[in-house]
Structure 1
C-alpha cells in the first residue's frame, strides 16, 4: 500500500463493537466500510449498523427463491422497525439490536428506512428499469437515503450536505450497477435501462450471456454518474467538514468511473473490479482535505 502523510496514518482506531455488523460490512460492502473508518470513532458502530441494515435488505433477492418470500422478508424488517420506533425491545438479531441502539441514540428518521425498504421491492422483479430516470429514482430511494442516515448519525443538518448526498448516492449506485453487470447477468438480472437497451439494439438474452454490455449502452450511465459527481463538487464549500466521511463514496465512485473509461466502458474487463491498493490513501486525502 502506498505511503501516506503521517497525520493520515492512524484514522482507524476501531472501538470494540458487536461483531455482527462490522463483520458483515467489512466482508460484503468493503468500499463503504473503508469510508466509514474516517468517521469519528464513537460514531462508527452506528454507521456500521446502518450499512449492515442496507446489506440485509439489498441481499433479499439473492437469498429467496420466490418474490413473495422476498416480500415477507422485507415486511419482517418493516415490523422490526415498527417495534423499535414504538419503544418495544428490539428483536434478538445481530443487525436489529445495534440498529435499534443507533436509532435511539441519534434520533434517526423513520422515513429514510421505509423508503429504502420500499425501493428494494423493485429488486424482486425481473424487469429492468424502464429508463435512466427510473433507475436514478430507485437509487435515490436506496443509495442516497443510506447516506442521509449516515449524515444524521454525524449530526449534520446543512441542506447542502443532504443535496450532495442525493447526488453522491446516485453516482455511487450508477457506477456500482455498471460494475455489477457480470454478477447480475449470472443471476439472470438486468439493471441497465430498457430504453437504452432498445435504443442500442441490444437483446436481453445476449446481455445475460455476457456479450452485449457495449459502450453505447454503458457510457450514458457513466456520463450521468459524472454529472452527479460534478454536482457534489459544486457544493463542496457549503458542506461542513463533519459530513465528509459520509460523502467519501463520491471519491470512490470517481475512481471506479476512471477505470470504466479506461476499459472502454466494458464492465466485463477484469481491471474494472480489481483490488484498489490506493483506496485508503485516496480516502484519507479526501477526509483531511475535505475533498469529495
Structure 2
C-alpha cells in the first residue's frame, strides 16, 4: 500500500502527465501535418531530409506523422526524469494507438496526424503498439505499410536488420549523453570483455582504450546488420526497388555515422560526432537516385 507521501507524488505525476497529454489540444495547429513536419525538423533532422524523397501529399504527410510519433516516444523516454511521469506518458501513447483505431483519436496533433494517415494507408496497429514498446524495426515496418509493401517478406527481412543497425548506431551516437546521466547503453558483458567498468564509461578516462574496444564491437555488430540488410538486394546489384527506396534511405545516416566512427578509431566521445555532417543531404540524394543505402 502506498504511503501518503508516495501517493501524493504519484498523484502529482499523473496530473503532470495529463497536462502533457492534453495541453496541446488548445494550442494544436489547424493542420496536424504542419505540426509533425516542424517537430521532425527540430528534433530528427535526418528524417526531415529524407522526407523530401517521399511523394508530396498523403505519403509525405504520413511519413512525417510516423516520424513525429517516433520522436514523441523518444522524447518521452529521454527527457522524463520522474519514472512515474514517464510511465503515464507512455501509457497515454498506448491508449492513443487504441483510440486512433477506434476512430476516437485524442486531440494531440501527432495522434490526429497518425489517425489521418490510417484513413489512407493500412498501417498495422500492432506495429504502432510495438513501436510504443520500443521494439526495434517497427517504424520501418510502418513505413513499408505506408508504401503498400507490408506483404513483401524480403523487404521486411531487410528492414528488420536495418532497424537493428539503426538502433545500435543510435545508442553509440548517444553514448556521451547517456554516460552524463550515468546510464550505460552498451551491454555490461561486452564492456567486461574489455575490462571496462561502468565508471570508465561515465568518465571516459583511465581506461579509454577499453571503452573504445567495446564501442568497436558494438559498431561491428551494427555493421553486420547493415550488411545483412543489403544482402537481401544482391540479386539486383544492391539496388532497392524504387517504391521502397524512401524507406531504406534510413540506412544512409547509419552508414555515414559508422564510417565516421571508424575514421576516429571508435572514440564515441569525440566531439566531431556531435556535429551535423554537411554532406548528408547529398549522400541521401545520391542514395535515392542510386537506389542504394
TM-score over 0.5 for the pair: yes
Does the aligned pair in 1 maintain the 2:33–2:64 contact within 8 Å? no
Output the CA distance in 2 between the equivalents of 1:107 and 1:181: 36
Who is 1:112 aligned against? Answer: 127
2:98 equivalent to 1:79: no
**Pairing partner for 2:56 from 13, 32, 41:** 41
Alpha-carbon shift at residue 36 of structure 1 (Å): 2.1
**Pairing partner for 1:229 from 222, 226, 229:** 226
C-alpha change, 1:17 and 1:79, in structure 2 (3 Å) is closer
Who is 1:194 aligned against? Answer: 188
Match of 1:81, SS?
helix
Q: After TM superposition, list the pairs within 5 Å mapping 1:44-83 onto structure 2.
A: 44-83=60-99
Who is 1:263 aligned against? Answer: 264
Alpha-carbon shift at residue 48 of structure 1 (Å): 0.5
Alpha-carbon shift at residue 239 of structure 1 (Å): 4.3
206-215 vs 51-60, greater mean Cα deviation = 206-215
Calculate the TM-score normalised by the size of structure 1: 0.82
Alpha-carbon shift at residue 255 of structure 1 (Å): 1.1
The CA RMSD measured in Å over matched residues stands at 1.7
The ranges of structure 1 where at least 4 consecutive aligned residues each deviate by more than 4 angstroms after the TM superposition are none
- Structure 1 residues 262-281: Cα deviation after superposition (integer angstroms, max 9, x where no partner): 11100111222322121111
Q: Which runs of 5+ in 2 are unaligned?
A: 1-30
Does the aligned pair in 2 maintain the 1:112–1:146 contact within 8 Å? yes
Alpha-carbon shift at residue 180 of structure 1 (Å): 0.9
Highest RCO, 1 vs 2 (Cα 8 Å, sep ≥ 6):
1
C-alpha change, 1:21 and 1:65, in structure 2 (3 Å) is same
Calculate the TM-score normalised by the size of structure 2: 0.82
Who is 2:139 aligned against? Answer: 146
Does the aligned pair in 1 maintain the 2:144–2:247 contact within 8 Å? yes
From the CA coordinates, give the structure whose radius of gyration is larger: 2
Alpha-carbon shift at residue 40 of structure 1 (Å): 1.2
Output the CA distance in 1 between the equivalents of 2:203 and 2:118: 43
Who is 2:20 aligned against? Answer: none
Alpha-carbon shift at residue 17 of structure 1 (Å): 6.7
Does the aligned pair in 2 maintain the 1:158–1:239 contact within 8 Å? no
Q: Which runs of 5+ in 1 are unaligned?
A: 1-15, 120-140
**Pairing partner for 2:148 from 142, 155, 160:** 155
208-217 vs 181-190, greater mean Cα deviation = 208-217
C-alpha change, 1:116 and 1:18, in structure 2 (3 Å) is closer
Alpha-carbon shift at residue 181 of structure 1 (Å): 0.7
- Structure 1 residues 153-183: Cα deviation after superposition (integer angstroms, max 9, x where no partner): 1122422111111111111121121111111
Who is 1:241 aligned against? Answer: 242
Output the CA distance in 2 between the equivalents of 1:270 and 1:217: 19
Match of 2:108, SS?
coil
Does the aligned pair in 1 maintain the 2:65–2:110 contact within 8 Å? yes
Who is 2:38 aligned against? Answer: 23
Does the aligned pair in 1 maintain the 2:32–2:112 contact within 8 Å? no
Who is 1:217 aligned against? Answer: 214
Who is 1:3 aligned against? Answer: none
Output the CA distance in 2 between the equivalents of 1:220 and 1:32: 27
Match of 1:202, SS?
coil
